[in-house]
Amino acid sequence: MTDVQIETFLCVLHNHSFSRASEMMLVPQPTISHRVCQLEREIGAQLLTRSAKSIELTQAGEAFLPYAQNISEAFRGAKQKVEGLLRGSSGSLVIGCSQALMHNVMTYCIKGFLLDYPHVSCSMIARFSEDILNLLFADKIDVGIMNYRLNDKTLEFTPLFEDEVLPVASPTFAVRQPLRLADLQNERFLVFPSDRFFHTFLMQELHQRGITLTNPIEVESIEMIKAMVSDGMGITFLPRMYIAEELRHGELQVLPLESWTPLLRTTYICNRVSNRMPMLNIFKREMQQLSHTYLEENG
């Protein structure tokens, strides 16, 4: 029994004619008759009564019909599923994302992606960037979204977007004129722990600009850093997208720095080079477009 035999049986029944089924399936009428006869031999019973005027189901045909319809529907569904996988428009995707990104831009992007590709099943894992790399190496996730690029030939990094890292303080922090970066040397700085990629990134960038922070306070949570800075407990550097809402509401202020060159940080989509999922390139393209839209709307 083949899917072609079942489709032919259903087509003959639907059109009440072997000749019309031949026209619909674009094959000679003897081929239609041969397929139905083969199916009846395999079933072991006559399924259709043939007359000059009509085609009717036998009792065996009536019993077989719902199974034939289910088989036909299941085959079409399976075919569409496989075609979707090959095109990248369906399937499953396990995504690892840094926790800070998950609370803003990635929520927006994943929602937009699933609206465009409703047949893709997504699982989200929120971790620190350091942990996302470990999950990639362990094949626990298909793709990672992080703010760090590792020099590793087994990984592929695709730039997603750039965000400016800003010096921020409490709105009560007195600023009468543009500050020099050196003026901040003696301020209390709140930073992420030293084992975080952003800590390393920030320290290296400030060092290149002639500033070395002495005894900064390390804080685990970005929400805690924002709250402490807002309460006047210190100053910090944070990406604009993480503080856009606080800036709009006047809970934080950007410190004006004299001769300050914008400090940019890149967010990447990372995957194993060996991962050749058709969906992957579609996901990357969609994430780039959606993240840029988000930044334009919330910048």
CB within 8 A of 155, min separation 6: which ones?
136, 270, 271, 272, 273
Same-domain check for residues 217 and 150? no
Along the 299 residues of the chain, how does pLDDT read in single tens digits? 888 888 888 888 888 888 888 888 888 888 988 989 998 899 899 999 887 778 889 999 899 998 888 888 887 777 666 655 555 555 788 999 887 787 778 888 888 888 888 888 888 888 888 888 889 888 899 999 988 888 889 999 999 989 999 999 999 998 877 888 888 878 899 999 988 888 989 999 888 888 888 889 999 888 999 999 999 999 999 998 888 889 999 999 999 988 888 899 999 999 998 887 778 888 898 899 888 888 887 76
Q: Of 58, 87, 116, which marks where a domain is finished? A: 87
pLDDT for 165: 93
| Nearest alpha-carbon partner for 143 in 283, 249, 294, 299 | 283
Same-domain check for residues 152 and 276? yes
Same-domain check for residues 171 and 105? no
Q: Of 66, 87, 108, which marks where a domain is finished? A: 87
Same-domain check for residues 128 and 276? yes
Same-domain check for residues 78 and 109? no
Tell me the HSE value of 183 on the side-chain side, using a 13 A CA sphere: 14
Name the domain count of the chain.
3
Same-domain check for residues 60 and 203? no
Same-domain check for residues 152 and 278? yes
- Quote the CA–CA distance of 139 and 125 in Å, as a whole number: 13
- Quote the CA–CA distance of 105 and 299 in Å, as a whole number: 11
Same-domain check for residues 173 and 221? yes
Domain that holds residue 151: 91-161+266-298
CATH number for the domain harbouring residue 35? 1.10.10.10
Same-domain check for residues 287 and 197? no
Specify whether the CB–CB gap between 96 and 136 falls below 8 A: yes
Structure token pair of residue 81: 């599923």
Same-domain check for residues 178 and 190? yes
CATH number for the domain harbouring residue 222? 3.40.190.290
CA 134-137-143 angle, 5° bins: 90
Same-domain check for residues 200 and 210? yes
Same-domain check for residues 188 and 220? yes
